Amino acid sequence: MSTNGAGVVGSRGRVQIGLVDLFDGSRKRNLGFMAEFARTAENSGFDGIWMPEHVLFFDEYDSVYPYPEAPLAADPDVKEQHNKVVDGKARVESAPEQGLLDMFQTAIEVCAATTRLRFGSSVLLLPLRNPRLLAREALTVAELTGGRFDLGVGLGWSAEEFAACESDFTVRGKRSERLINELATAWSGDQGDRSRSLPTGITPPRMLVGGHSKAAVRRAGTIADGWYPWNLTPAEFEEGLASLERHLATAGRTRDDVHVIAGFRAVGEIADLSHIVARYAELGVDGVNISLRMTEDNYAQVMSEVADALGLAGLDT
């Protein structure tokens, strides 16, 4: 990996570096904070902000948080325990009054406050959506952000959330696969019927499949525009990438047809982040997304330190 003033450079060229964070509309994370946070990220040399999605949070969960433990920054082959573990099972971390702003509206505001920063969903809960409404909503956001929106999609893991939204949790995999196909078809202009509900002349957002299951990798390689796994060690990522390339070949596609992002929660010292980012870069990622768990008080300093560690500060912003 090179960081010679051009940012992070890997085996496929410059690697886009994104930040994963959330905006909840609280007094400290209001519209003004959102705009300043985005401008600080852009001026620090980051390429994008990615926001997780949940419609509802709960005090207690029976559902198990499915994401693997995070690899250590200094030694990416070693994993660190989740911060919140109950009875030996990982649990989602959320504040007592936690909520999240709407993904699409937030994307528009963030991009309006910046000039080149991208915004992505990390990830949108696809099975909860109506495909026709989502197809139009995503196109609208793509247009209003100047083509700077990326649609990361996932199945969701909280049965409690699905029940509250009156959606069948047990069929979310099949429903997601159908919706990915329907979105791709709708955006291709071949809607399969006589309806003409979608605006024309707009380039649809890049759709990346989140997760590292065999089904997620297959969907990414055969239908979608990219793959977005989370908290994988370099060896796990390399194995998933090999599977992705096999699915691409089966579908008559190539690696250049998809955008691959490795996401992880930062564990360890900021100065060590270059180690794990370098490993991903050497394996051929197009982007790396980092969850830094920044506060309202320290985000500018943390962004500056991470930018320095990854050689982003010299980017032309």
Taken in order of first residue, the domains within the chain and their CATH numbers are: 8-310 (3.20.20.30)
Those residues of the chain that have pLDDT short of 50 are 194, 316-317
Predicted local confidence at residue 64, as pLDDT: 82
At residue 259, what are phi and psi to the nearest 5 degrees? Answer: -110, 125
Predicted local confidence at residue 193, as pLDDT: 55
Predicted local confidence at residue 77, as pLDDT: 96
